[in-house]
Amino acid sequence: MSVVLVDAGGTNIGSVRYALQRLGADAELTSDADRIRSARHVILPGVGAAGPGMRMLREAGLVDVLRGLTQPVLGVCLGMQLLCERSDEGDTECLGVIPASVRHMVGGPGLRIPHMGWNGLRVTRSHPLVDGLRHDDSAYFVHSYAVPDGDYALATTDHGQPFAAVIASGNFMGMQFHPERSAGVGAQLLQNFLSL
């Protein structure tokens, strides 16, 4: 199976790669445009900030490459946010392949930002990516920005307000949480992606 991890400088690449290896997929880390275009599945991981993430993609000449992909593409954590149109984080223009904007999360009494920890997921729309996900299966989140609930949301969760935990538009999909740190739930969703 041909799977590539886009090298955009994300610090979680090693753990995502290991999670894929446990599922029998040896994912190559690359910033080579031809290799990315020819892969059967493309994963855009990321930990960090939207501005530097987009800058690395621009410097690598990958913005138009990623926008033009027709195979299944999965963004993870920051990678999911970069698939959207804009991010409040540095007022950053992102890839724009999912019709959503990324908003800064609002804290409050008992609500710490960044949001870190396990949250239950609620499936809101049927899609092969969330097949087998049960009501309130939990995933592990670490983030300060989130995509509001909308038509693109496949699953949601809450931290002060509801937000999208899994999104999809056409062949582009994303998970706000870290599937590589979300035990069996994360493995199931990664397997679902690899089966698309």
Active-site annotation, residues: 77, 178, 180
Least Cα distance to 179 among 141, 136, 131 occurs for 141
Cβ atoms of residues 69 and 36 within 8 Å: yes
The first and second tokens of residue 116, run together, are 């870190």
